[in-house]
Copies of this chain bind each other. A is one copy, B any other.
């Protein structure tokens, strides 16, 4: 039921995946409120948590909402994973409250893939917004969970983990960042290599496979990156649409479209909530059917691949 283009594009994407035959899709929503659902099975609910609803209140009060029911379906083994393009906070709260945290996890975090043309797989940044503040113990676990995710999803054997700061030196940043640097630099925290601090300018420079930060900084950085890409690509589209450059644009477009496609968040498969006892994919609110196909496929693949067990095994410290 969630997302700016729901239910049309969401259901269309779900049907496309199901029609391909490999993945079974269970819709969760209002009967009669989802348009043409074709042959897809429907888990009926009677409520919807809207984009503007308070996440915590929404989950507590709307116990028969599509988000809460989807999380329960995962908890109860009726589904292997949940995918939502709806209210991000409510998606997280539903997953956290119904699936529960993995043992030892202090707080779940949102892991977002960021394409980097200098390597063949994306960089994972976390936390992209689940926790506005983070302690060094939480940031250590983000490093561990992010590394497990990089290994499981992208096959990176021993991911390079970096800490997002405002200078390369270990003396740079807030007290929490400096403390986290010291903890990570000790080593021995798992199957990854700590490569020190990175800065905001390093996202496209193949400096790391996992970039660790608190959810406030991570959310600002991610939205700044996406907003800058959207602004520049939009401005270029305007220039390329000028009548006087039509022929030249026709020559260059075939070279530019693969770049635009690589950078389009629709194609990354969505963000992943790590640290809960189940697979939960958070797709962009603006998700089209293409984004849905990618998100559902990723959710399926990591669920089959054993992501949750790998994340659980990665975490040390206690929650």
A256 proximity list for chain B (CB < 8 A): 236, 239
CA distance A232 to B239 in the complex (A): 16
Q: Are B166 and A215 in contact (CB under 8 A)?
A: yes
> Given A249-B252, A256-B239, A199–B225 Cβ distance below 8 Å?
no
> At the interface, yes or no: A202 with Cβ under 8 Å from chain B?
yes
Are B255 and A242 within 8 A (Cβ)?
yes
Question: What's the dominant secondary structure at chain A's contact region?
Answer: helix
The smallest C-beta distance from A261 to any residue of chain B, in angstroms, reads 13
In contact, A247 and B239 (Cβ under 8 angstroms): no
Query: Is A224 interfacial (CB-CB < 8 Å)?
Result: yes
Q: Give the interface size bracket for A toward B.
A: 35 or more
A112 interface residue per 8 A CB criterion: no
B165, B173, B201, B222: the one contacting A230 at CB < 8 Å is B201
Let me know if B239 and A173 touch, CB within 8 A.
no
User: CA of A253 to CA of B144 in the docked complex: distance in angstroms?
Assistant: 46
Q: Which of A216-238 contact B (CB under 8 A)?
A: 216-217, 219-233, 235-236
Is A248 an interface residue, CB under 8 A from the partner?
Answer: yes
A204 at the interface (CB under 8 A from B): yes
- Give 14 pairs: A residue, B residue, CB < 8 Å, sorted on A: A54-B171, A133-B175, A200-B221, A200-B222, A200-B225, A201-B223, A201-B224, A201-B226, A203-B231, A220-B220, A225-B228, A239-B252, A245-B251, A247-B251
